[in-house]
Amino acid sequence: MRSVVLYIALFVSSWLTSQIEPTIHSDEQKVAEPFTITYEVSNNSSWTLPTLKKRDIIQKNLEIVNVKLDTLSEKIQLNLQLIAFDSGIYTIPSYRFKKGSQEIRSFEKDIHVSRVKVNTLQKPIYDIKPIKEISLTFNDYFNKYRWILIGILIALIIAILSFLIYWFIKSKPFAKKEEPEIPPGEEALSALSNLKEQQIWKEDAKVHYSKLTDVLRHYFERKLHFDAPESTSDEILSEIQPQLEEIEYKKLRNLLYEADLVKFAKSSPEESKHLLYLDDSVQLVQSLEEKIVEETEEEEEEALAPIEIKKTYFEFLGNLQKEIPKGDFALWWKIDSEDHFTNSISQKVWDSFYQNELAFYPYILGVILYEKGLNNERKAVLFPESEQQFVLENETVGTFVISISKEKGFTILMNTQTTSNEQRNAFLIEFITNTREFITNEITPPKQKEYKSKSYGDQAKDWYLFIRGMVIKSEKKGKEINRIAGKKLE
């Protein structure tokens, strides 16, 4: 019996000595005042200490505000700085400390926290201090306003995408198919017919004559190309007199002067005059339509008249071939890794041709077709509505294709597989040089001015400038462009 009691006593003594007693640095703890509790272990072996960190909640209203580990020569100290936010008795739980495979636990510790006693006799009671403002960090601002910032960023992205889509659609020349415009003659006659049916003069003569003269002014602006809506009656008569017979001129003068009297002097013409002026206006429009159509036809006949040429300029193009060749043909193509359309000989030649020499293409095309036996006379030729091709062969580039159409103009397509960069450049330089020589020697300055004013080939010019712009932008962005206006013939 004594041995049992002895074993029990030894076990209890061993158990008590193997536990760690926490020590507290102050006897009295107060609400909202930090206090420190320390755990000590010997420094003669490696310990695994409990994992505690700042802001851990031990129990309600009791929080860790700091954790500090001190390693001394003979011991290791774990210092926990605590703070209580209310009075009462708090129990610090038991924590596990490991030394190798041995586990040692700390004693629980009861702590009494009391309220701070206020001596109102010696110290007055002050008002509660205002909330202290602290400076916010970047993360604080970001977390506070992040949804606003995200909304602004999304709106900015949508605005940029909308602008890019709008710019792309607007800059694409064939993106929108426009409605055909009503000819000025048809528009004017339709408006005069409606005006006659409405009989506005019965209610307000001033409104009627204002509408009548507006129809005529708008027609003169579109048909005769002068600012009729902003011109006085005398200025209109002076501008249009060369286009009219004497009787037509007098009728228009009477109408305009009568309208001025109605609008500004409150004149009241007889009802028969209203119908007379409407009929005179219809006859005037019809007469001008017939005269201007005849003049246009005469100009076209003159433009397409036979051309007298002093020498052969396009013999270098070679001989006409009957069979369509097989292979890959293009206006320009990439020959090696260093080859780019931007600032190449090809770009410079075609820039010059489409922006300068293309205005004279009826002469150029007419002479080429005559020299190659495709036309019986040297007569100016307009581009066809649909694409036409003819094949030639010369010593510089071998077989090549000339393609003509109203949409794309005049393009020379060379074989991409057999034509070298040097051959391509030599041929294009010879082409543009001979074309310029032909224009300088065979087309007089007055004719040159006349051809430029007619805007021949504007649609083809727009096509080339669009293709050129897209290629140059792509190459600046580092995109590979392998060929332009390519065509595979089989």
The predicted structure's pLDDT at residue 157: 93
Residue 467 located in a structural domain: yes
The predicted structure's pLDDT at residue 235: 86
Residues 92 and 193 in one domain: no
Q: What is the overall mean pLDDT for the chain?
A: 81
Residues 341 and 260 in one domain: no
Residue 366 to residues 303, 362, 384, 413, 447: CA-CA distances in angstroms? 11, 6, 13, 19, 16
Residue 134 located in a structural domain: no
CA dihedral 348, 350, 356, 361 (to 10 degrees): 160
Residues 286 and 321 in one domain: no
User: Given a cut of 70, is residue 15 above it in pLDDT?
Assistant: no
Separation CA 365–CA 406 (nearest Å): 13
User: Given a cut of 80, is residue 32 above it in pLDDT?
Assistant: yes
User: Given a cut of 70, is residue 279 above it in pLDDT?
Assistant: yes
pLDDT, tens digit, for every residue of 333-346? Answer: 888 876 888 888 88
Residues 213 and 298 in one domain: yes
Residue 99 located in a structural domain: yes
User: Could you say which of 87, 114, 141 is where a domain stops?
Assistant: 114
Q: Judge contact between 222 and 285, C-beta under 8 A.
A: no
Q: How confident is the model at residue 249 (pLDDT cuts 50, 70, 90)?
A: confident
User: Could you say which of 303, 325, 342 is where a domain stops?
Assistant: 303
Rounded to a whole number of angstroms, the distance between the first and last alpha carbons of the chain is 118
Residues 284 and 329 in one domain: no
Residue 128 located in a structural domain: no
Residue 158 located in a structural domain: no
Q: Judge contact between 193 and 182, C-beta under 8 A.
A: no
Residues 407 and 384 in one domain: yes
More confident residue, 312 or 412: 412
The predicted structure's pLDDT at residue 160: 92
Chain-centroid distance, C-alpha 480: 21
Residues 465 and 411 in one domain: yes
Instruction: Record the pTM.
Output: 0.40
Residues 372 and 443 in one domain: yes
Q: How confident is the model at residue 367 (pLDDT cuts 50, 70, 90)?
A: confident
Strands (E), 309-468: 319-321, 327-330, 332-333, 388-394, 398-405, 409-415
Tokens of 14: 């061993």
Residue 140 located in a structural domain: no
Q: Judge contact between 424 and 339, C-beta under 8 A.
A: no
Residue 170 located in a structural domain: no
Residues 334 and 272 in one domain: no
Number of domains in the chain: 3
User: Given a cut of 60, is residue 348 above it in pLDDT?
Assistant: yes
The predicted structure's pLDDT at residue 10: 44
Residues 456 and 484 in one domain: yes
Q: 371: closest CA among 317, 324, 322? A: 317
User: Could you say which of 80, 114, 148 is where a domain stops?
Assistant: 114
The predicted structure's pLDDT at residue 130: 80
The 8-class DSSP code of residue 246 comes to H
pLDDT, tens digit, for every residue of 445-465? Answer: 777 777 777 667 778 888 888
More confident residue, 396 or 116: 396
pLDDT, tens digit, for every residue of 295-321? Answer: 455 555 555 455 555 567 788 888 888
Single-letter code of the amino acid located at 114: S
pLDDT, tens digit, for every residue of 202-240? Answer: 888 888 888 888 998 898 888 887 888 888 888 888 888
Structural domain of residue 84, as residue ranges?
2-114
User: Given a cut of 90, is residue 245 above it in pLDDT?
Assistant: no
Residues 417 and 444 in one domain: yes
Instruction: Report the greatest alpha carbon distance in the chain.
Output: 155
CATH number (domain holding residue 62) = 2.60.40.10
Residue 138 located in a structural domain: no
Separation CA 118–CA 173 (nearest Å): 87
In a 13 Å sphere around the CA of 412, the CA atoms on its Cβ side amount to: 26
Residues 277 and 337 in one domain: no
The predicted structure's pLDDT at residue 70: 85
Q: How confident is the model at residue 170 (pLDDT cuts 50, 70, 90)?
A: low
